[in-house]
Amino acid sequence: MPTINEILQTMDYGPAPESTKEAQAWLDQHERRFGLFIDNAWSPAADTFASTNPADGKELAQITQAGAQDVERAVDAARRAQPGWVALGGHGRARVLYALARLLQKHARLFAVIETLDNGKTIRETRDADLPLAARHFYHHAGWAQLQSEEFADYRAVGVVGQIVPWNFPLLMLAWKIAPALAAGNTVVFKPAEFTSLSALLFAEICVQAGVPAGVVNIVTGDGRVGEAMVKHPGIDKLAFTGSTEVGRLIRQATAGSGKKLSLELGGKSPFIVFEDADLDAAVEGLVDSIWFNQGQVCCAGSRLLVQESVEQRFLAKLRTRMDNLRLGAPTDKSMDIGALVDPIQRQRIEGLVEAARLEGCTIYQPACELPANGSWFPPTLITGASTSAGIAQTEVFGPVLVAMSFRTPVEAVQLANNTVYGLAACVWSESISLALDVAPQIKAGVVWINTANQFDAACGFGGYRESGFGREGGKEGMFEYMTPLSEDARPAAPLVEAKAKVKASESNDPFAIDRTAKLYIGGKQARPDGAYSRAITGASGAFLADVGEGNRKDIRNAVEAAHKASGWAKATSHNRAQVLYYIAENLAVRADEFAARLAAMTGSKDPHKEVQASIERLFYYAAWADKYDGLAHQPPMHGITVALNEPVGVIGIICPNEAPLLGFISLVAPALALGNRVVAVPSEAYPLAATDLYQVLDTSDLPGGALNIVTGSADELARTLASHSDVDAVWRHDGSAEGCAEVERLSAASLKRTWVGGAKGRDWYDTKQAGGRAVLAHASQVKNVWIPYGV
Ligand code: NAD
């Protein structure tokens, strides 16, 4: 008689197909041809392309390739609708968002089947993950609409928003984009990915049922050309893009200088770290979810397994056994774990990357599973033996391919985890809470899951560090992406500063003249400029005041290096950072008269004491914030919490304004320092002496060397170097130079650094609303969401 185990091994699941009848009927009702949804009306289908079912290659419907004039019509409709949508008020918008959530739930099965047919992902996933999460997003954001006047009283909607998404979570990405945009009072032009337009078109139908006013949601379909037309359209105030880092970079370049607000959710190569004390069986299940959910076509997929050497072989053995049990096949079958890849192009790309790894000598493990004859399929794959720099260890595969490596110590685990240009997500598995919570903040990623994987919720922000993009979706932090501070509207049209002070090469040849050359300030020491050049600064009366060093590329490189070495500043307690800022204020106060005299001589200011006093107060202001800019503890619907930490951005290059040269400098440098960033500051090009006079103040204020570096010289040239430098994490430019700001945004695209630029407008540096507040602190920080489940 066979044993129970032998019987179990021969048993298999029978087919459990989900009916596609209603979905087919919906497609037939539209004669399998779809036009565009603009101003709550359907345009006739034109210039169409086929959308196919990736599981069998069969055509599902013809979709319209929108043209530039369609984008024009959609933007126009959105623009016309926006004032009315705002006027509806928070409660009015909340009711519409609530209706959308209800309708998504009511038609959940139809949406789930349409999504599975169009994308190839399993019905189990669309039914149990995509749909409930999409509905939850609309419910949650109905709440933000309701609370907007209270919680975001100092903000307004941005205006017309263009939203472009990829094909891996078509409806979920739509919900992530449209729900917050509408809640905040924006109207949208939304473009689904060309492979997966159907759920967005079905969503357009429920918009009408939910009472979304005409023009508030417009859906334009088609390929990247439609996206490009949106990116270039001057009538779009904000772009929200999710997709590849490559296209994200193009969008950053194309929007440089346009004043468009931008958020980019890009690719990843996320580490999945297993420590030796982890619950290995639970970690294997977490890993299955992490890398084989949606066939690995997940931006935050845990595609790099880092496992502690002592348990490596045991863990990999368990993993292989689990892989052997994964069921791959018809996505509409409720018992399948792995469905089809979105398109044969994707399969070819994955095959190419895996083949390259094989040629490099890696070991490839794939379970012996039979792939269906038609459609695009790829088996779950485990790659071992790759070097840390191998293509397969660095490139985002965006498929069911896991590369495994080992580490010995937690320090090495963190080093390996951060050995990537990306920074989207990470998983940490350990039964030691102190180890897990020690490692989580050290990982450069926007999301860290502890003893869990791939958790998402509307209340918790999601988004990347480094080349995984910037901006957050979800939660309160996500709402800010769709709003503009009212203080921005109050800014003066142009900088208040008068014509630039004259600068010229220093001419003094008198060997006995007292050398009044202000040097640079690098690593806590005064440094001669590398080029040994200086420029003469003349005062308001035209008289020579002093020479300042003419910083160049090498000086910026040295300053950035010094800033990186000062990593202790980021780890210092916020109390400690506050104390240093108070101390700087105190030392500045002692020398207030001297600084006032300098300001008067440079700028001709009639009331220079006012600026010095305001600068002292601004230092107090950010010292006060240093230990009060707390994160949040979200409570998503799980047994646990998600802690949203405000972390420093890293090394920030700051081009300071000419208006109020001391106050402007302090107003930008202090918030950056308060939150633990290290700074390379370029003081006012016209009036740099207020900053160079600070060296002695800094020397006596316990600021660690390298936390603040000051390089004087040409704002344009130094900004260019900072924006092109791959080790600078963010660049701010606020000197009123429209072209200079555009250049910073353009150059920042190479390493996708964050930027905050003021454009051609001025700013009242005395007004805390324009030059302070949480909006400034948000620029100086990035949010990391750490998920901590309880009791598992
Ligand atoms: P993709 O960048 O090729 O396309 C994304 C979208 O951009 C599509 O709608 C496409 O039509 C459009 N597009 C293409 N070229 C464009 C252009 N020049 N201008 C404007 N729009 C253009 O990405 P994909 O292959 O569809 O998706 C996979 C990528 O998306 C992966 O890198 C993945 O990591 C990323 N992704 C990121 C997240 C996240 O939240 N960070 C989520 C899902 C996917």
Pocket residues for ligand 1 (CB within 6 Å)?
Answer: 164-168, 191, 193-194, 223-224, 227-228, 231, 242-244, 247, 250-251, 265-268, 299, 396, 398, 424, 464
Task: Tell me which residue has its CA closest to atom 35 in ligand 1.
Answer: 243
Does the pLDDT value for residue 193 go beyond 60? yes
Q: Please pick, among 115, 125, 265, 477, the residue that the annotation labels catalytic.
A: 265
Q: What average pLDDT does range 215-226 have in this prediction?
A: 98
Q: Please pick, among 207, 299, 300, 362, the residue that the annotation labels catalytic.
A: 299
Phi and psi (nearest 5°) for 518?
Answer: -80, 130
Calculate how far, in angstroms, residue 191's C-alpha sits from the geometric centre of ligand 1: 11
User: Which pLDDT score is estimated for 499?
Assistant: 47
70: Cβ contacts below 8 Å, ≥ 6 apart: 36, 38, 43, 220, 226
Got the DSSP string for 130-172? IHHHHHHHHHHHHHHHHHHHHHTTTEEE--EEEEE--SSSHHH
692-748: per-residue pLDDT in tens? 999 999 999 999 999 999 999 999 999 999 999 999 999 999 999 999 999 999 999
Q: What average pLDDT does range 173-190 have in this prediction?
A: 98
Rounded to an integer, what distance in angstroms lies between the CA atom of residue 590 and that of residue 576? Answer: 21
Calculate how far, in angstroms, residue 98's C-alpha sits from the geometric centre of ligand 1: 29
Band of residue 2 on the pLDDT scale cut at 50, 70, 90 = low
Does the pLDDT value for residue 508 go beyond 60? no
Kindly report the length of the chain: 792
User: Which pLDDT score is estimated for 511?
Assistant: 56
Pocket probe for ligand 1: among 49, 51, 164, 167, the residue whose CB has the most ligand atoms within 8 Å is 164
User: Which pLDDT score is estimated for 200?
Assistant: 98
Pocket probe for ligand 1: among 137, 195, 299, 785, the residue whose CB has the most ligand atoms within 8 Å is 299
Rounded to an integer, what distance in angstroms lies between the CA atom of residue 673 and that of residue 375? Answer: 54
Band of residue 509 on the pLDDT scale cut at 50, 70, 90 = low
Annotate 701-768 with three-state secondary structure: CCCCCCCEEECCCCHHHHHHHHHHCCCCCEEEECCCCHHHHHHHHHHHCCCCCEEEECCCCCCCCCCH
Q: What average pLDDT does range 353-376 have in this prediction?
A: 95
Buried b (16+ CB within 10 A) or exposed e, 664-696: bbbbbbbbbbbbbbbbbbbbbbbbbbbbbbbbe
Band of residue 791 on the pLDDT scale cut at 50, 70, 90 = confident
| Percent of the chain whose predicted confidence (pLDDT) is above 90 | 94
617: Cβ contacts below 8 Å, ≥ 6 apart: none
Band of residue 15 on the pLDDT scale cut at 50, 70, 90 = confident
51-101: per-residue pLDDT in tens? 999 999 999 999 999 999 999 999 999 999 999 999 999 999 999 999 999
User: Which pLDDT score is estimated for 781?
Assistant: 98
Strands in 338-446 per DSSP E: 363-365, 381-384, 401-407, 425-429
User: Which pLDDT score is estimated for 505?
Assistant: 52
Tell me if residue 299 is catalytic.
yes
From the CA of 167, give the closest atom in ligand 1.
26
Lookup: tokens for 542: 């035209």
Does the pLDDT value for residue 42 go beyond 60? yes
549-590: per-residue pLDDT in tens? 999 999 999 999 999 999 999 999 999 999 999 999 999 999
From the CA of 250, give the closest atom in ligand 1.
18
Does the pLDDT value for residue 1 go beyond 80? no
Does the pLDDT value for residue 317 go beyond 90? yes
Band of residue 516 on the pLDDT scale cut at 50, 70, 90 = confident
Band of residue 631 on the pLDDT scale cut at 50, 70, 90 = very high
DSSP state of 462: B
Pocket probe for ligand 1: among 171, 226, 244, the residue whose CB has the most ligand atoms within 8 Å is 244
Tell me if residue 481 is catalytic.
no
CA dist 602 → 498, 591, 705 (Å) = 12, 17, 28
Q: Whole-model pTM?
A: 0.96
**357-366, 457-466, 488-497, 779-788: range with lowest mean pLDDT:** 488-497
